[in-house]
Structure 1
Amino acid sequence: MRIHHLNFAALRKIPPVGGGEELAAVCHCLLVETDSDGLVLVDTGLGTADLRSPEERLGADWVAFAEPARDVAVSALQQVIRLGYAPQDVRHIVLTHLHRDHTGGLPDFPHAKVHVGETEYRAVTDSAAPHHRVSLERFMAAHRAHGPQLMPVVADEGADWFGFQGAARPQGMECELLLVPLPGHSAGHSGVAVREGEGQWLLHAGDAYMYHGEIEQTPPSSHPALDLIQEGAQTDVGARADTRDRLRALRREHGNQVTVFSAHDPWEFARFSK
């Protein structure tokens, strides 16, 4: 199995804490080459149509704040092609959650099975589910108009992954990839754990935290520009803070086995892109 760390959108530039050169916020995603399941995408960033017509597809207010670069070349579709693959080679997409900067590439891979946590799935499909209205608003109509093959991943309450309960393998997949509940940011936010070697895991924590200082520094240090995003999106402040603290403990106690990263921190992404 080979894992590619890729950035599927360049967003507004933000300065490092303490000053210095600005970097564009990223949409840090994974492309996983597997023997059993073809290509697997973990999150999809912004899609080709989003990058051509962002205001129309993503909303003018969001675009004014996020300032996405209108460069189709950074889309998942184009990067998959540059790696020598056909779009049809992407058989599975595993999502941390259903916000627009994570689902934009879905229309570029309409044939793929799309795996998402059961709570997140119900939030957009069941009008009686908690946070249904806001969840459906944030899962952009343009990203679901083609009828993506959404498949809920039911948490395995008996499973324990480094102290995180409920981790489960998406249905129909054989590779060592798990959806790990990391609640708080969205109705059913999850992380995606991928085994990259014997006893070694990557954990894509999505938007469970936004800045590496939140899990690497004591006391936790956040980024003011990224705080605005978190504060405007999180559905459960207490659960999100608890998730962050559990990720801090995971890194402290199992950092030799699990490498944790988030979706939008450009300094974190730079460590992997090198």
Structure 2
Amino acid sequence: MSIKVKFFQAGYCTHPEAIVIRAGRWKTANFPSIFALISHPKFGAILFDTGYSERFFQETRAFPFSLYALTTPVYLHSEDSAVHQLTKYGVSPETVRYIMISHFHADHIGGLQDFPNAQFICFRSAYEAVKPLRNTAALKAGFLPRLLPPDFEQRVVFVEETKTRLLSSEYRSFNTGFDLFGDNTLTGVELPGHAIGQLGLFFTDADHQDYFLIADACWLSRAYQEFIQPHPIANLIFSNKRQYVDTLQKIHQLHKLNPNLKIIPTHCADTWRLLNFQ
């Protein structure tokens, strides 16, 4: 099947580079919030995450969530939101059939409410980890509960309910995945560590280019290319440090085995610049 993909940036946050990669500069850097539009020949418009939306500012006005905005300042114009960019691109929000949620941090689910007919695809473990969280507990998990649509549970499809499939030997860092649509076009894998039940995505586009969307399994491309861990301070926001390192090592090995595989971290400015030259 002929899948097409287009990448967008829905806002960005700023943070010292040295926190996200050891030996990085302590100078403040920009971290784009990248999301993907996947055009499927059978299922139409599918999103991988949504980036920020203006709701982020609404939900971080009051304490304790105001600390979120202070820790990672966010920059977003209304025209940068996923719904605005997709509409301009010719994709109306009502026609988006599915949104894959890599994990439930605010910079990945900010635009969910703008797509009224979309079903949501995520790991059950990811949702159950954040579902009961409120106030300070939610803040620690990077989760803003009111970013979720009120009818989220009526619209969600859990990855664990889809069929598993063996991955080809070239992807042997990851032995099995989930055939999300039952046609071997979009394969989900779990990338634990940064967040419980983080979802990564393998697919091949119409030009036979292979992609691996890795969300926040690392923040910068150098991290998986050279296997460089973040500063220990970053451990404070990880769900499991050991799993984070294991996931990063698997992606590093995969990169060495498949140098032509396009691995896309959500927040890498270098990756974003390369995508713009496609």
TM-score class, shorter-chain normalisation, is 0.7 to 0.9
The 5 Å alignment of 1:1-274 reads 1-12=3-14, 14=16, 23-51=29-57, 54-56=60-62, 59-125=65-131, 138-148=142-152, 149-154=155-160, 156=163, 159-160=166-167, 162-163=171-172, 164-171=174-181, 174=183, 176-197=185-206, 200-217=209-226, 220-222=227-229, 228=233, 230-256=234-260, 258-274=261-277
Q: Over residues 118-159 of structure 1, what are the superposed CA-to-partner deviations in whole Å (9 max), with x where a residue is unaligned?
A: 3213334589xxxxx669954422112422222111175552
Deviations 1:47-105 (CA, angstroms, capped at 9, x unpaired): 23225664359921110111111411111011101102211121110111111111111
For 2:105 and 2:4, how far apart are their aligned partners in 1? 27
Does structure 2 retain, via aligned residues, the 8 Å contact 1:45–1:75? yes
> TM-score w.r.t. structure 2 length?
0.82
Distance in 2 (alpha carbons) for counterparts of 1:166 and 1:156:
10
Moved over 6 A (4+): none
Contact 1:24–1:266 at 8 Å: present in 2 too? yes
Corresponding residue for residue 130 of structure 1 = none
Conservation of the 8 A alpha-carbon contact between 1:110 and 1:146: no
Q: Which shifted more, 16-25 or 72-81?
A: 16-25
Distance 1:79 1:158, change over 3 A: closer
Change (3 A) 1:94 1:202: same
Q: Which amino acid aligns with 1:179?
A: G
Aligned residues: 262
For CA contacts below 8 A with separation 6 or more, give which structure has more relative contact order: 2
Mark the CA change 1:158 to 1:175 in structure 2 (over 3 Å): closer, same or farther.
closer
SS at match of 1:250: helix
1:225-245 Cα offsets, whole Å, 9 max, x none, are: xx75x4232111111101100
Q: State the percentage of identical aligned residues.
A: 18
Greater shift in the superposed pair: 12-21 or 149-158: 12-21
| TM-score normalised according to structure 1 size | 0.83
Equivalent pair of 2:163/2:180 in contact (CA under 8 Å):
no
Q: Which amino acid aligns with 1:251?
A: H
Q: Is the 8 A contact 1:37 1:175 kept in 2?
A: no
Q: Which runs of 5+ in 2 are unaligned?
A: none
Q: Output the aligned Cα RMSD.
A: 3.0
Does the CA-based 8 Å contact 1:211-1:223 persist in structure 2?
no
